[in-house]
Amino acid sequence: MSYIEELKDKNIPMVLFGMKEKVANTFSILGLAELLHITTTKPEAKKLADELSV
């Protein structure tokens, strides 16, 4: 978790994508989906990362 804050402090966007359903559900249950940016496809992830970099 410390890496998430470190990336945010350095304005480095991290977007996860292409998770299998079980993994996505686990992230959701653990509350990680609220801390991380998650998309379903690589193009969506790239677009979001570009938007977050501005």
pLDDT tens digits for 1-54? 678 889 888 999 999 999 999 999 999 999 998 989 999 999 999 999 999 987
Strands of 1-54, DSSP E: 15-17, 37-39
Predicted pLDDT of residue 15: 95
30-35: long-range pairs with CB below 8 Å, 24+: 35/1, 35/4
Predicted pLDDT of residue 4: 85
For residue 41, the enclosing domain spans 2-53
Predicted pLDDT of residue 20: 96
